[in-house]
Homo-oligomer: A and B are copies of this chain.
Amino acid sequence: MIKIVIIGSGNVAQHLITAFKKADGIDLIQVFTRKKESLLHLLDSQFIIDDYSNMLEADLYIIAVSDNVINEVSTQFPFQNRLVVHTSGSISMDELSNKNRKGVFYPLQTFSKNKHVSFNEIPICLETEIEKDYQILEAVAKAISNKIYTISSKQRKAIHVSAVFVCNFVNHLYQIGNEICIENNIPFAILKPLIEETASKIESLSPIYAQTGPAKRNDSQTINTHLNFLTNENQKEIYKLLTKSIIDNGKKL
Bits for A157-185, please: 1 = Cβ < 8 Å to B, else 0.
11111111111111111111110110111
Contacts of A175 in B (CB 8 A): 207-208, 211, 249
**Are A168 and B199 in contact, CB atoms less than 8 angstroms apart?**
no
Q: Is the interface of A mostly helix, strand, loop or mixed?
A: helix
Task: Tell yes or no: A81 within 8 A of B by CB.
Answer: no
CA A232 to CA B246, docked complex, whole Å: 14
Task: Tell yes or no: A191 within 8 A of B by CB.
Answer: yes
**Are B245 and A191 in contact, CB atoms less than 8 angstroms apart?**
no
Contacts of A177 in B (CB 8 A): 162-163, 165-166, 207
Min distance, Cβ A236 to any Cβ of chain B, angstroms: 11
Contacts of A242 in B (CB 8 A): 169, 172, 238
Contacts of A21 in B (CB 8 A): none
Contacts of A209 in B (CB 8 A): 112, 114
Flag the segment in A37-45, A129-137, A217-225 that touches B: A217-225
**Are A123 and B193 in contact, CB atoms less than 8 angstroms apart?**
yes
Task: Tell yes or no: A25 within 8 A of B by CB.
Answer: no
**Are B193 and A202 in contact, CB atoms less than 8 angstroms apart?**
no
**Are B190 and A108 in contact, CB atoms less than 8 angstroms apart?**
yes
Given contacts A166-B173, A172-B215, 19 further A-B contacts (CB under 8 A): A67-B219, A67-B221, A90-B225, A109-B193, A110-B194, A115-B210, A159-B191, A162-B180, A164-B214, A164-B215, A165-B239, A166-B177, A168-B212, A170-B195, A171-B202, A178-B207, A195-B202, A196-B200, A238-B245
> A residues near B, CB below 8 A?
11, 66-68, 90, 108-112, 114-115, 117, 121-123, 125, 147, 149, 151, 154-155, 157-178, 180-181, 183-187, 190-217, 219, 221-222, 225-226, 229-230, 234-235, 237-239, 241-242, 245-246, 248-249
Chosen A-B contacts, 21 in total, with CB atoms closer than 8 Å, are A110-B210, A110-B212, A112-B210, A114-B205, A154-B184, A158-B186, A159-B181, A159-B191, A161-B180, A163-B177, A164-B239, A166-B194, A167-B194, A167-B195, A167-B212, A170-B174, A174-B210, A177-B207, A192-B203, A195-B202, A196-B199
